[in-house]
Amino acid sequence: MQNLIQTTKETLQNYDYLHLYALTELVKSKWVFESDVINHEDFLNNLILEDIKANKTSSTFIKVWLEQYALRKESDLENLYSFLKCRLSTFIFWEINHHDINYSNELFWKDIFSENDTLLNMLETLKNNWKINSFTPISNKQVIVLF
């Protein structure tokens, strides 16, 4: 399994984040799954989720949205940035929902998305570091972020 984790890690190094299907297809081009593995996506998904659950903040991976994965970065700010890039790839409007709170717990092992000051401070730091252009809180659960 360690070789499969390493292959998955090497694959994700070339991307900000990947959907599980695309990740599985790329991994399959480098890795031969054992013949008893029927569903490669489910197998890889479970492997990644087990790594996240077992290793917490030292996991190689982060889950940035529904079936979307990225490599864990060294800082919480970089992990938040990966999350935002995925989460806001389609819309600039971000309404924090129960999925986000779950991802916050998996990314940081605490719920920073409900702790408005923590989130706003992190967004301000990302803005000051030129990672995002701006952000505008609309309410406790809604933020507009511009890249």
Predicted confidence band at 18 (pLDDT cuts at 50, 70, 90)? very high
Q: d(Cα 26, Cα 74) in Å, to the nearest integer? A: 24
* Domain ranges within the chain, ordered by starting residue: 1-72, 74-147
- Fold of the CATH domain 1-72: Arc Repressor Mutant, subunit A (1.10.10)
- Whether 74-147 and 1-72 are alike in CATH topology: the answer is yes
Predicted TM-score (pTM) of the model is 0.86
Helix axes 116-128, 76-87, angle to 10 degrees: 90
- Residue 1 has what pLDDT? 60
Does the domain at 74-147 match CATH 2.60.120? Answer given as: no
Q: What is the pLDDT of residues 53-97, one digit of tens each?
A: 999 999 999 999 889 999 999 999 999 999 999 988 877 777 788
Token representation of residue 28: 């399959």
CB within 8 Å of 52: residues ≥ 6 apart: 59, 61, 62, 63, 106
The percent of residues in the chain predicted with pLDDT above 90, rounded, is 52
